[in-house]
Amino acid sequence: MFFKRTLFLFLLQHLAIVSGYHHYHHPPHYSLDTDKTALLAFKRTISSDPLSTLANWNVTNDVCNFTGVRCNKQRHRVTQLILNSAGLVGLLSPFISNLTRLRHLEIVDNDLFGIIPPEFSSLRHIIHFQLDWNNLHGPIPDSFSLLSNLALLSVMGNNLNGMIPPSFFSNCTLLTNVDLSSNAFSGTIPPEVGNCRGLWNLNLYNNQFTGEIPMSLSNASDMFNLDLDHDGNTDLDPFFTALANCSSLMELELAGMGLGGRLPTSIGRLGVNFSVLFLEENMISGPIPPNLGNLTKLMWLNLTSNLLNGSIPAEIGGLLNLELLSFSHNFFTGEIPASMGQFPHLGLLDLSNNKLSGKIPKSLGNLVQLNYLFLNNNLLSGAIPPSLCQFPDLSILDLSYNGLTGSIPPDISRLHEIRVFLNLSHNLLEGPLPMELSKLENVQEMDLSSNNLTGRIFPQISNCIALRMINLSHNSLGGPLPEALGNFLEP
Report the DSSP beta bridge partners of residue 153.
Answer: 129, 178
- Rounded CA-CA distance 204/385 in Å is 45
pLDDT for 208-238, tens place per residue?
A: 887 777 777 766 655 556 666 555 555 677 7
Kindly report the number of other CB atoms within 10 A of residue 490's CB atom. 11
H or E stretch including 359? strand 355-359
Instruction: Determine the 3-state secondary structure of 295 from DSSP.
Output: coil
**Taking the domains of the chain in order of start, what are their residue ranges?**
233-383, 384-399+406-423+441-491
- pLDDT tens for each residue of 356-385: 999 999 999 999 999 999 999 999 999 999
Q: What is the pLDDT of residues 397-432, one digit of tens each?
A: 999 999 999 999 998 888 877 888 999 999 999 999
Q: What is the pLDDT of residue 19?
A: 38
pLDDT at residue 484, as a whole number: 63
Cβ neighbours for 252, distance < 8 A, ≥ 6 positions apart: 225, 226, 227, 243, 270, 274, 276, 277, 278
Residue 106: the pLDDT is 96
CATH, range 233-383: 3.80.10.10
List, for residues 41-50, the tens digit of each pLDDT value: 999 999 999 9
> Are the beta carbons of 211 and 186 closer than 8 angstroms?
no
Q: Which amino acid is at 449?
A: S
The reported pTM is: 0.72
Q: Give 72-127 as a DSSP string.
A: -TTSSSEEEEE--SS--EEE--GGGGG-TT--EEE--SSEEEE---GGGGG-TT--
